[in-house]
Amino acid sequence: MSRFSGITDNPHEGRFHQKTGILLTNLGSPDAATTKAVRVYLREFLSDRRIVEIPRLIWMIILHGIILRIRPKRSAKLYKSIWTEHGSPLTHITQQQSAKLGTLLKQQGYENTEVVMAMRYGNPSIEAGLEALREKGFTRIVVLPLYPQYSSPTTGSTFDAVAKVLGKWRWVPELHFINGYHKNSAYIDALANSISEDLQANGTPQKIVFSYHGMPKLFLDNGDPYHCLCLQTTRLVVEKLGLDKESVISTFQSRFGKAEWLKPYTDEALKSFPEQGIKDIAIISPAFSADCLETLEEIEGENREIFEQAGGEKYRYISALNDRDDHIEALVDVLKPNLG
């Protein structure tokens, strides 16, 4: 029997007219914290034309001749340092977010919705997620990449992956693609709440650092809005909390290679603070909707060490929003205009 045999001409009948599938996506992780698994993951990740925008032939020689021979072993050690009994923190947290989002949608009256999680790189893949929705008869799909601030290497790449899969389907579903939510008031409230809770528990630091994932400055020069969206996010949270603008700074982390990236760099800012008399800081990474290698290892570990070795005394990381209730409520708010 065809998967489309339940269609009727009555819009109030048949599963195809009543249900909305939601594909919740994030970046992804290796299947295991091993050199072999990390190599597979990095090959897919670093082969994406949105990630590395240099001539293809040159990059493939560098990638396969140098990077994939050296970096997987080094990265595997970093993944091992954050790996849990559930495996990848990012994958596990995204699974929790997906489950809680599905439950909350039904509690709020969206009975005919179902949430499926997928990863841009690694597993479960975007293709697997979309196929799962198709097999269940969804012809209306909402894709929500968990990147609050749009950028070409993250959100744009997710769109590419979705389009590639749908390009093979005979019947393309009604598609709603959410390309960001950095100004959503519920998202800003959730960020503000997480900071406020930390300040109440630990006191007010001398500086609050908003550390966003970096990207080559060339991307900004070529029109990527990510840098501006990050600064807008910081401004909205600062206004929400009524913070002194001088007590806050936006920085950019996770750079690699020799090209100039978005500035100021997080590690260099942290290193310079103690000599300015700033020895008590709190740091938050609003571009990450779930804790991952870049927050748990880089921010919690590597950057803490940089700050303390430079003379810093108090350093605390304010966790990503993860599966906080107010974060899940914010995701529902982002989805609502697209649920029909």
Beta-carbon contacts of 72 under 8 Å, excluding residues fewer than 6 positions away, are: 35, 36, 38, 39, 42
Answer for the pair 178, 338: CB distance below 8 angstroms, yes or no. Answer: yes
Answer for the pair 135, 19: CB distance below 8 angstroms, yes or no. Answer: no
Answer for the pair 245, 238: CB distance below 8 angstroms, yes or no. Answer: yes
Q: Is 294 annotated as a binding residue?
A: yes
Task: Give, for 157, the enclosing helix (H) or strand (E).
Answer: helix 157-166
Rounded Cα–Cα distance for residues 237 and 97 (Å): 22
Q: Where are the alpha helices (DSSP H) in 216-289?
A: 217-221, 226-241, 266-272
DSSP character at residue 54: S
Q: Tally Cβ neighbours within 10 Å of residue 210.
A: 25
Q: How large is the C-alpha radius of gyration of the chain?
A: 21
* Torsion over CA: 232, 236, 239, 244 (sign): negative
Instruction: Report angle CA 159, 161, 166 to the nearest 5 degrees.
Output: 90
Burial 116-151 (b: 16+ CB within 10 A, else e): bbbbbbbebbbeebbebbbeebbbbbbbbbbbbbbb
Q: Is 86 annotated as a binding residue?
A: no
Annotation: binding site for Fe(2+) = 213, 294
Annotation: binding site = 213, 294
